A and B are shown apart, each in its own frame.
Chain A
Amino acid sequence: AQTVTQSQPEMSVQEAETVTLSCTYDTSESDYYLFWYKQPPSRQMILVIRQEAYKQQNATENRFSVNFQKAAKSFSLKISDSQLGDAAMYFCAYHTGGTSYGKLTFGQGTILTVHP
């Protein structure tokens, strides 16, 4: 079974600075997908970024980018120019490339605090 580990329960960053959230995973599969979801205080789960394992290029969405190291099974999220609205719980998640009927395996989450 796949596992996802987020080793940083909490992180903090100053507004306008850059922060990196860590995620490692364990799998024997070669085809899979990785995600970062954001959960603000409203509890809504918001997709931040998505990475296909077969793509070597790291995904980027505006101020959010990932560092995907397939051999090391590492998938970190970098937030540049941090804003107050980035404060939230962030979850790393794994999805098999095969049929899994919509199952995501989540990490424990990292609470990000943004200081003005």
Chain B
Amino acid sequence: EAQVTQNPRYLITVTGKKLTVTCSQNMNHEYMSWYRQDPGLGLRQIYYSMNVEVTDKGDVPEGYKVSRKEKRNFPLILESPSPNQTSLYFCASSSPGVNTGELFFGEGSRLTVL
């Protein structure tokens, strides 16, 4: 089954404690990205990756890091989380030229930073 898998689905942490949200896709997609969803703002792109070892900032990258060492994995790293990073996070993948713009989303990770 084609899917994007995120972990953890729920996480409560404290300010400053480093955490990583993992993302893995099994569709051999080149493009992967992270979004955050906040009330009244919709989803906003944090970072994206065009392929292995190629990443770039999205619209709201401050406070986040990513890496793409393997094609299937795209973890999101919060080095020193702060309360304003409390949000619902989505990983998504897609492939160029195939149903352009159609993203496959993970199930979301609800993060609370106290």
Interface residues of A (CB under 8 A from B): 4, 6, 9, 33, 35, 42-45, 47, 50, 91, 93, 95, 97, 99-104, 106-109
Contact = CB atoms under 8 A, between A and B. Distances in A.
Given A102-B32, A103-B45, A97 B107 contact: no
Interface stretch (B12-20, B79-87, B92-100): B92-100
A70 B108 CA distance: 32
Interface of B: 31-33, 40-45, 48-50, 56, 58, 88, 90, 92-94, 96, 99-103, 105, 107-108, 110
Given A47-B102, A108-B42, A102 B93 contact: yes
Contacts of A103: 33, 45, 48, 58
Contacts of B50: 101
Contacts of A109: 42
Given A35-B102, A45-B105, A50-B101, A104 B32 contact: no
8 contacts: A4-B42, A33-B101, A44-B107, A45-B105, A50-B99, A93-B43, A101-B48, A106-B43
A108 B40 contact: yes
A63 B50 CA distance: 35
A33 B43 contact: no
Contacts of A45: 90, 92, 103, 105, 108
A99 B96 contact: yes
B48 A102 contact: yes
A45 B105 CA distance: 6
B100 to A, nearest CB: 6
Contacts of B56: 101
Contacts of A104: 43, 45, 101, 103
A63 B31 CA distance: 31
Contacts of A50: 99, 101-102
Contacts of A35: 101-102
